[in-house]
Amino acid sequence: MLRNWASTRGDAVPTIAEISFVSSGTPEADAAAEALRQRYGNVPFADAGVVVALGGDGLMLQTLHRKMGQDVPVYGMNFGSVGFLMNDYSAEDLVARLAAAKPTHIYPLEMKVRLEDGSEHVALALNEVSLFRMTYQAVKIEIIVDGHTRLEELICDGVLLSTPAGSTAYNLSAHGPILPIDSPLLALTPISPFRPRRWRGAILNNAATVTFRTREEAKRPVSAVADNVEFQHVVEVIVRENRSKRVTLLFDPGTGLDERVLSEQFRY
């Protein structure tokens, strides 16, 4: 049996006794997963106390979404191209590695959307909530923070709101700021802004509620995406952090997400 994990914040974490292996489906990842199952055993995904994910960051996000709010940690081993959320692969001493692993907790953004047809939908995002133009025309979006209009009209290709975990992903590519992983902050970043041309975004408290309202929707349709869940023809999007649905990633000592986020700021 693996020992209890204690987070750096001192909150309790579950005892881990059973491992479930998941694979991204590539031949290399499938072969490694099967070898690990033969060596360490395997329980069904629904019964897992800890999940070991073999693949890339995409598989990690999918796995975290499947275990959202269940207090089941996920330990990734990299078989992808980037592997920012993964540990190095090794079949040796896996139980000891899991016992020594350090947890990082992430809280998702909850996106509530209202569509042109009046329907309403909800989705969760661990990286970011993004709004995009659906056609060749730029979109016009009003940005409201905690009930106050901060930008009456942003003309752009899109705009995104990122968690600290997602700040090194699409947010960084859109020239948004990198946020320390344990910071109580969110990054609001425009995508190819036209007006106001010099606005480069904002850093918000993670308790903020951000509302996006689209303008001229019939002429300039907008889609909204929470990680990999998309809704088209949105007229209003409300985003806030959901503190009841946390996920837990496990990292080998000295390679945690806080160190990776810090190191990313010194890349050139």
Q: Which of 11, 30, 47, 57 is catalytic?
A: 57
When pLDDT is averaged across residues 189-212 and rounded to a whole number, the result is 94
Q: What is the pLDDT of residues 158-192, one digit of tens each?
A: 999 999 888 888 998 999 998 888 889 999 999 99
Q: Which residues contact 78 (CB under 8 A, 6 or more apart)?
A: 55, 56, 86, 87, 88, 89
Helix runs in 67-169, H state only = 94-100
Q: What is the pLDDT of residues 38-75, one digit of tens each?
A: 999 999 999 999 999 999 988 999 999 999 989 899 99
Q: What is the pLDDT of residues 116-131, one digit of tens each?
A: 999 999 999 999 999 9
* Residue 6, pLDDT score: 46
Task: Give catalytic status of residue 88 as yes or no.
Answer: no
* Residue 3, pLDDT score: 47
Q: Give the domains, in start order, of the chain with CATH numbers.
A: 19-107+246-264 (3.40.50.10330), 109-241 (2.60.200.30)
Neighbours of 197 (CB within 10 A): 10
pTM of the model: 0.82
